[in-house]
Structure 1
Amino acid sequence: MTNKKIYFASDQHLGAPTPELSREREVKFVKWLDSIKEDAEAIFLLGDLFDFWFEYKTVVPKGFVRTLGKLAEIRDRGIPIYFFVGNHDLWMGDYFEKELNIPVYHKRKEFTLQGKSFLIGHGDGLGPGDKGYKRMKKVFINPFSKWLYRWLHPDIGVRLAQYLSVKNKLISGDEDVKFLGEDKEWLVQYCKRKLETKHYDYFVFGHRHFPMEIKLNETSTYINTGDWVSYFTYAVLENGKMRLEKIEN
């Protein structure tokens, strides 16, 4: 069988709001991964797979064994998986690369897929606005900040971060799960600005938690993959054309 489809998904936020409620969504996500492995040419995970992730030198957060096991199985089948960190898992280190053989990207990246040009990333901190989060992100990604945080015992560090991840908008950024209008959608504005200097057939981002497909001009389209909290949506590239799909209950 010839693989023809490339899949894109983001914002599973595993671990939130409680392990029990997260488990239901994780089971659904793992079933989806299991279903697409038969025809997947590649899989792109666009960030916030976890509601919080921090790697100590010898410790990673407890849980998510079903997801990690399924990703390992898919990689062992030779199917490429690409992971982009989001604002909730921006402290991702080399665990995915060493344990799962999945490359991890901390910034947006260009790809050519099925003959089409793509700019792909999580989407946080791009475009105008959201200045509070942008300032806070600079603090979070500072190597000194990460070094200090590692001195917290994992039982304290993980619990504190999980609480702040849910409660603090400076950490989450703006993730309103409704359409704000093109003039207020910062990622739309970002994409239009990028098109002034270079053409892309598709921009694909997550972060916004709202599935969107917006024509930027006659030849360029912005896709937001939505989330696995409220919408359970993802994007598919097949024969050079993108579409959004939804997991039905």
Structure 2
Amino acid sequence: MTTIELPEGKKVYFASDNHLGAPTMDKSFPREKKFVAWLEQIKHDAGAIFLLGDLFDFWFEYKTVVPKGFTRTFGKLAELSDAGIPIFYFVGNHDLWMNGYFEEELNIPVFHRPQQYLINGVSFFIGHGDGLGPHDKGYKRMKKVFTNPVAKWFFRWLHPDLGVRLAQYFSVKNKLISGDEDAKFLGEDKEWLVQYAKRKLETRHYDHFIFGHRHLPLEITLSQTSKYTNTGDWIHYYTYAEFDGQQLQLKKFE
């Protein structure tokens, strides 16, 4: 478990599911500018920033090519990272093909699985949320294909102009990938990330479980001392979570 001690007056911020580039670069541009404005706003008191996946609607790292666009986002992340603000990135189901670019260019560690943190003595279980819990079975099968080394090798040999365009098309059109069909509250007893968190609590206590992926801002009490939070998205809600060293709150960026 990684330990983080917040300096006096500093906070930890959590955000996810921007899906920049969807449905088109032009249409997502205002959302990108809003996200960059949020990063600018929080930089004065950010002790750490957790980005919980699907920052891009599609991301694939070729050895010598990165997808076009997102210059303002990269620039702001580089500025904050260079200023000494720790940033942690958890890949989502749309950007799981990260392989070194964030680490090398932005000094941002990238995680492909949930991680545990102790922040000011408060325990956190943090991840994107895809493929966890008893459901999400269709995506779990699809993820095996996406992460298969042979499939990635064949895709890498497509010219980037063709590969990126093809992947962007399916990313927007395929609801199994996009998660659009799940973007509604299922009821606490049917929320599979809630069920996953409760199962984890059977073997170890965490004060907070924080996920993205669901595109819904949610705060659900798991027990008297444990809580599940979903950060929502930056498509419809523009929500994020803020931890001041004691309290965790969901907030909306206006």
TM bin, normalised by shorter chain, reads: over 0.9
- Which amino acid is 2:170 matched to? L
Query: What is the DSSP-based 3-state SS (H/G/I as helix, E as strand, rest coil) of the residue aligned with 1:13?
Result: coil
Distance 2:175 2:161 in 1: 23
Uncovered stretches (5+) of structure 1, i.e. residues with no partner = none
| Post-superposition offset of 1:175 | 5.5
- Which amino acid is 2:34 matched to? K
| Post-superposition offset of 1:3 | 4.2
Measured against aligned partners, the alpha-carbon deviations of 1:152-199 in whole angstroms (never above 9, x if no partner) come to 000000000000001113323466322110111110000011101110
2:79 matched residue in structure 1: 73
Measured against aligned partners, the alpha-carbon deviations of 1:68-125 in whole angstroms (never above 9, x if no partner) come to 0000000000000000000000111100000000000000001111211111000001
Distance 1:127 1:183 in 2: 12
1:6 matched residue in structure 2: 12
Which one of the candidate residues 165, 170, 185 is aligned to 1:164? 170
1:206 matched residue in structure 2: 212
Instruction: Return the TM-score normalized by structure 2.
Output: 0.95
Distance 2:181 2:10 in 1: 32
Are the structure 2 counterparts of residues 233 and 175 from structure 1 closer, same or farther at C-alpha, using a change threshold of 3 Å? farther
The question of whether the paired residues in 2 share the 8 Å contact of 1:137 and 1:171 is answered with: no
1:223 matched residue in structure 2: 229
**Residues 141-150 or 207-216, more deviating:** 141-150
| Aligned sequence identity (%) | 72
- Which amino acid is 1:211 matched to? P
Q: CA RMSD in A?
A: 1.2
Q: How does 1:227-238 map to 2 (within 5 A)?
A: 227-238=233-244
Distance 1:99 1:226 in 2: 28
The question of whether the paired residues in 1 share the 8 Å contact of 2:207 and 2:226 is answered with: yes
- Which amino acid is 2:154 matched to? L
Which one of the candidate residues 22, 35, 38 is aligned to 1:32? 38
Uncovered stretches (5+) of structure 2, i.e. residues with no partner = 1-6
1:129 matched residue in structure 2: 135
Q: How many residues align?
A: 248
Query: What is the DSSP-based 3-state SS (H/G/I as helix, E as strand, rest coil) of the residue aligned with 2:182?
Result: coil
1:150 equivalenced with 2:189 (yes/no): no
Query: What is the DSSP-based 3-state SS (H/G/I as helix, E as strand, rest coil) of the residue aligned with 2:196?
Result: helix
